Chains A and B, each alone.
Chain A
């Protein structure tokens, strides 16, 4: 169960907030080098799950290992192994582009020289040289997204958690983002990504679909489409949601 080939492994992983169960007995085994997609309606528990795997939130119950490390006891070590890009890219809006890179390099404990070298490579790779002294607040969203990804990868982690990295990003920028993700996977990085763009689900090796805290389906996009007899992932998603959401309007009492 703790095979060295697994980047992420969970067993009955659960997180409750008061009486509300945000993540409900989730079992996962994500292989190293895999692009693993996570789909689900708003409030399904995707972000809560990611935050537990990043060592940012303790589970209520169950087990989870990231690169073999235990999320209860080794959360600090996990942070060295992972890059995390949160939904609203956690950049400092009142710092310039290069200041953000330097700041994150510092947080990850990189040396001065290493930060300077990394900064220059990143600015070039991300095509951000002309924006280097611009306040991050004034950066177009597509560039913010690239910068956030770059900052999350400064310490060269083998595993990436990307929470809705392409929300609000235009079709061209999304394509170049995914080309980059594919390239990272080829280099052996594991990418764990959530999205609301159903075409992007197709670019993942496997996809898990979550609803109401539970993982309802987990397979390759092709197998999912076959087993739900749908021609698109959009079709699969809608079908699963309809099957697994009890009529929310039947009961008006609060779940929280």
Chain B
């Protein structure tokens, strides 16, 4: 049995079709990542799974339970962290954590170790007596996340949990998520960070209310079939312009201080040398590059246009 089973799911808000026949499954104990552009339907899907929104059509089951008929049962085995999570602003960091520990009936014995681990990831330990209202935006997010992770539900649904969280804390957060998974929890998580998709067992790319690509991160990357190069130069914007004029170029994307350039056919050494001359030495370095999830994401969106 799959932990989450979604078949032909449709949902419409007024004239906006949020979900247009979505099919997807999350396996028992799996860590499943949802990526996709804004407005693709990720949040709506999660809210339906969490029994907060009713589907218009289709079937959704969580641990075999129907989201239409068995809401109370589903809610008792599910943990959900929405994009905007409500903390108690007048309670301190520690009081918030204890409140949620009570709410989710975390046994005293487990509570201490759990808190320790959460303080470590969040680096909120020194702020534990501060009211939540006086935390920075990112710190609030980390506290919300800690509150959601204080118990171990059978199914955990996290909607962009790392929104506004700094790079070091994000890394630590994912370590926690893996340990929660090891405890047997099935996790469904959405993210705008493509490096986080790599941490998942499987990834679904959501677009216009459907899953348009789905696989393990490694297999997804294999879908990118064009020869891909990582290119450096003195001026990336000029270099980008230059490659736009080369007919065998399939795509060009800026990745920080390098360009990812893919080709419709494999360029030869002589091509690169010619380009180096043509750019007056502006093209400085090229190397074959293994496609990342971000490359695949941008490519799939281009294909779906």
Q: Do A and B bind each other?
A: yes
Contacts A47-B137, A170-B192, A173-B38; A254 near B126 (Cβ below 8 A): yes
Q: Is B175 located at the chain interface by the 8 A CB criterion?
A: no
Hey, what's the 0/1 contact readout for B32-54 against A, CB within 8 Å counting as 1? Answer: 00011111000000000000000
Partner of A170, one of B35, B128, B167, B170: B35
Q: Contact partner of A143 among B39, B128, B166, B170, CB < 8 A?
A: B39
Is B135 an interface residue, CB under 8 A from the partner?
yes
Flag whether A57 is at the interface (Cβ < 8 A): no
Looking at chain B's contact residues, the main secondary structure is: mixed
CB contact between B167 and one of A167, A168, A196, A203 (< 8 Å): that residue: A196
Please state if A138 and B13 are interface contacts (CB–CB under 8 Å): yes
A141 and B38 contact, CB distance less than 8 A: yes
| A43 sits at the interface (CB 8 A) | yes
Select which of A238, A249, A256 is within 8 A of B129 by beta carbon. Answer: A256
Residues from chain B with a CB closer than 8 A to the CB of A254 are 126-130
Chain A: minimal CB distance from B190 (Å): 10
The yes or no answer to B77 lying at the interface (CB within 8 A) is no
Shortest beta-carbon distance from B80 to chain A in Å = 17
Q: Give Cα A30–Cα B168 distance, bound, in whole angstroms.
A: 27
The answer to whether B135 touches A175, judged by C-beta atoms less than 8 angstroms apart, is: no
A172: Cβ under 8 A from any B Cβ? yes
User: Does B1 lie at the interface of the complex (its beta carbon under 8 Å from any beta carbon of A)?
Assistant: no
Q: If the complex has contacts A88-B137, A248-B125, are A42 and B169 also in contact, measured as CB distance less than 8 A?
A: yes
Determine the interface band of chain A, counting residues with CB < 8 A from chain B.
Answer: 35 or more
Would you list which residues of chain A between 216 and 256 have a CB under 8 Å from chain B? 221-222, 232-234, 237-238, 241, 245, 248-249, 251-256
A172 touches B298 (CB 8 A): yes
Size range of the chain B interface in the assembly: 35 or more
CA–CA, A245 and B126, complex, Å: 12
CB distance from A176 to the nearest CB of B (A): 11
The answer to whether B137 and A170 have CB atoms under 8 Å apart is no
Given contacts A41-B123, A254-B126, contact A142 B167 (CB under 8 A): no
Per the bound structure, the CA–CA distance linking A60 and B199 in Å amounts to: 43
A27 part of interface (Cβ distance < 8 Å):
no
Docked CA distance A250–B145 (Å)? 23
0 or 1 for each of B80-119: is its CB under 8 Å from A? (1 = yes): 0001000000000000000000000000000000000001
Q: Considering only CB atoms, which chain B residue lies closest to A197 in the complex?
A: B193
- Answer whether A201 and B301 are a contact pair too, CB < 8 Å, given A142-B39, A143-B38: no
User: In the assembled complex, how far is the CB of residue B290 from the closest CB belonging to chain A, in whole angstroms?
Assistant: 16
Contact of B165 among A42, A178, A234 (CB under 8 A): A42
- Chain A 25-46 interface mask (CB, 8 Å, partner B; 1/0): 0000000000000001111100
A129 in the interface, Cβ–Cβ < 8 Å?
no
Central interface residue in A43, A140, A241, A248, by most chain B CB within 10 Å: A43
Other than the known A42-B169, A170-B37, A171-B192, what 12 A-B pairs have Cβ atoms closer than 8 Å?
A41-B166, A87-B137, A143-B38, A143-B39, A164-B137, A169-B192, A171-B194, A173-B37, A178-B254, A222-B257, A249-B125, A254-B128
